[in-house]
Amino acid sequence: MIRTASQRAYSEALRYIPGGVDSPVRALRAVGETPLFIRRAQGSVLTDIDNNRLTDYCLSWGVFLLGHGERHVRRAVRRAVRAGTSYGIPCEGETHLARAINGHFPSMERVRLVNSGTEAVMSAIRLARGFTGRDLVVKFAGCYHGHVDHMLVAAGSGVATLPMASSKGVPEDFVRHTACLPFNDPDAVRRFFEQRGEQVAAVIVEPVPANMGVVRPREGFLELLRQVTAQSGALLVFDEVITGLRLSAGGAQQLFGVTPDLTTLGKIIGGGFPAAAFGGRADIMAMLAPDGPVYQAGTLSGNPVAMAAGLATIRRLEAPGFYDDLQRRCDRFYARVREAIEGRDITLSSAGPMFTLFFGCGRAASFDDVLGADTERFARYFRRMLERGIYVSPSQTEASFICSAHTDSQLDAFVDALRQSIL
């Protein structure tokens, strides 16, 4: 695969942008590569500036459940752009999208729209502290909740592949109000809440972590979090930036039947534009300014173009049978992947249309399990798949994604490339 133009573009980017990228994982250093620079994306295919065509299983880190440039979304965006690209004044699109979110996530009785998952988490945690009058927040090792200072404690995503536990520049005074527990360890949760439950403002969790690779919750674990938070007066926050609208129309909370007090959403709800949201019980959300004393604001929040793209995306996901059809395609794909990796010390972990192949660890139930994976083997797999025209998420601690634009023939081609790449 010729990548002369991308390499030249990267050299130029390095002159002006730290690391040459605006988000660290894009540098591809963990897999021994240099970044691709993309010219165009359509459906499930990326075309880089060297005119290499790649089947995309990263999908802008999970943004595109419909694939890139879905025609109904494009049409809605064109209409919105003609009317104006930003107002800083309310538009009806904000209400339409908030109402659609509430329709799929009834626990989000009130919704505040923001611009990124990080912003949604930051605001939800501030709100939880303001509502409870407590400071302590509990998270889980390997769960990533954006680059908020007090959430960069044993974080997943790209942080897990950096040579640091969290991040420089985060004062110890910030993180002393964050407790980190092992994911999928009910005994650790019970012990902690027996000792400090009355100090906890909120427990935040990815209900199905995707930022240490895909790790499914053990049966009863999410229910336990609901139980201990309710008993202690703490709030339960589901970070569904990735799982929301992906695992089902109502996200992980619908799939597992566990109702959180607050939810954060992102990625899919922007339809390819910067948009995210947090929301929850009406009495909690009433604490937000201008109604209450918890401040949150944003110049571009509720951007009309992002609102149009997000609403058009949700309407397409509401088509009868959408999720059933996608899951049937995923099930067929996963069955073929398991056949390809049988006996090779590779673990497939999946939840709906997101998956991770873990190399060299027998199970993937916790962050400790994931940290035992062979990142060099993953890097070789990534490079070999790339040479065969397939782009997976470039980190052992990330999820890859399937969208409705992937065809059966493309999924079969993935399996064929996988067989060759793990020889």
- φ and ψ at 91, to 5 degrees? -130, 160
Domain ranges for the chain, please list them.
4-57+324-421, 71-317
Longest dimension (CA), the chain: 61
| Tokens standing for residue 99 | 């109402």
CB proximity list for 208: less than 8 A, separation 6 or greater? 214, 215, 216, 217, 243, 247, 252, 351, 354
pLDDT of residue 157: 47
Q: Which sign, positive or negative, has the C-alpha torsion 371, 376, 380, 382?
A: positive
pLDDT of residue 166: 59
Please tell me the pTM assigned to this model. Answer: 0.94
> Starting at the edge strand that comes first in sequence, how are the strands of the sheet with 346-351 ordered?
346-351, 354-359, 400-401
The C-alpha atoms of residue 55 and residue 390 are separated, in whole angstroms, by 5
Query: So what's the pLDDT on residue 154?
Result: 57
Q: What's the CATH code, domain 4-57+324-421?
A: 3.90.1150.10
CATH architecture designation of domain 71-317: 3-Layer(aba) Sandwich (3.40)
Catalytic residues: 144, 239, 267
Please give the pLDDT value at position 162. 36
pLDDT under 50: residue ranges of the chain: 156-165
**pLDDT value at position 172?**
77
How far is residue 70 from each of residues 73, 216, 226, 350, measured CA to CA in Å? 5, 30, 37, 25
Helix H or strand E encompassing 277: strand 276-280
Distances in whole angstroms, Cα of residue 222 to Cα of each of 101, 122, 209, 225, 231? 22, 22, 12, 5, 14
CB 116 within 8 A of CB 274: yes
The amino acid present at 195, given as its one-letter code, is Q
The backbone torsions φ and ψ at residue 27, rounded to the nearest 5 degrees and listed phi first, read -70, -20
**Strand 400-401 vs strand 354-359: parallel, antiparallel, or unpaired?**
antiparallel
Q: Residue 226's pLDDT is what?
A: 98
Please name the residue that has the structure tokens 């988490």: 121
In 49-133, which ranges are E strands?
Answer: 53-56, 110-114
